Amino acid sequence: MTAERPIDRLIAVMARLRDRDGGCPWDLEQSFETIAPYTIEEAYEVADAIARGDRAALKDELGDLLFQVVYYAQMSREEGGFDFDAIAAHEADKMVRRHPHVFGDVEIPDSEAQTRAWEAHKAVERAGEPESAAAGTLEGVARALPALIRAEKLQGRAGRVGFDWPAAGDVIAKIREELAEAEREMAADAPRERLAEEIGDLLFAVANLARKLGIDPEAALRAANDKFVRRFRHIEERLAEGGRTPAEATLAEMDALWDEAKAREVGR
């Protein structure tokens, strides 16, 4: 007798939760649209567990993310569409197709060449899809992506067809130009919408610089956020030693403690 595979049990658990006869009321109310935000949240929780080096949490979060896939598969199966096996089979076929250097006789010398080949395979596949026949270069970059990630992907797509700055120095000049435009709008007391547009252009240019330097802008900003939290916590802890809170301190005092935290990190 063959033992039940864990994935089969998980699929069965999901089917039971969605069973109209005695299933979970909350799960029965859900749709593709209502579950999508949870999927995004679970993906970020996976990334957070990895960043913290917490393997126990990672196992738990990966399970939650896998459950999201099972959830979509169950809802689709109820509509007479694809199921979990169809998802897995499709993905396996796609990975084999996009790795001819592993599953075929194509030779690819390094990871950079593999990245180019991967994107070329994707472009060929998109061109072969009926709905993509008239699609542009930027089609398929999901709007739901975090804005920094989407900016980097849009710029990368445009760059592959030659619409790109030759060097990082050119992007720095563009950043200065966008910053100057934002300053002019500020000086003119421009409407909030105009300021938002200029700030957006500035952020877009900074994301482009990160791409040109081979830096993930989302990861870079995430690291900057973490650094800010560390240093501000230092301010709070040092003030607490004297029985005070940041709200009771002057900006000059907090700036001095910020520099203290920065010096400690640099000295490590």
> Which comes out higher in pLDDT, residue 137 or 246?
246
Contact 208, 218 (CB under 8 A): no
Which regions of the chain carry the CATH code 1.10.287.1080?
6-98
Phi, psi of 211, deg, nearest 5: -60, -45
Q: Which two tokens stand for residue 19?
A: 């069973």
CATH class of domain segment(s) 6-98: mainly alpha
Q: Average pLDDT over the chain, rounded to whole?
A: 91
- pLDDT for position 226: 92
pLDDT in tens, 151-168: 999 999 999 889 999 999
pLDDT in tens, 28-77: 999 999 999 999 999 989 999 998 899 999 999 999 999 999 999 999 99
pLDDT in tens, 239-250: 999 999 999 999
- pLDDT for position 163: 94
Number of Cβ within 10 Å of residue 61's Cβ equals: 20
Mean pLDDT along residues 14-19: 97
- Is pLDDT at 133 greater than 50 in this prediction? no
Strands (E) across 116-183 are located at none
- pLDDT for position 4: 84
- pLDDT for position 16: 97
Q: What are the residues whose beta carbons fall under 8 Å from the beta carbon of 174, sequence distance 6 or more?
A: 165, 205, 208
pTM reported for the whole predicted model: 0.66
> Quick one: CA torsion of 206, 212, 213, 214, rounded to 10 degrees?
110
- pLDDT for position 139: 85
pLDDT in tens, 179-235: 999 999 999 999 999 999 999 999 999 999 999 999 999 889 989 999 999 999 999
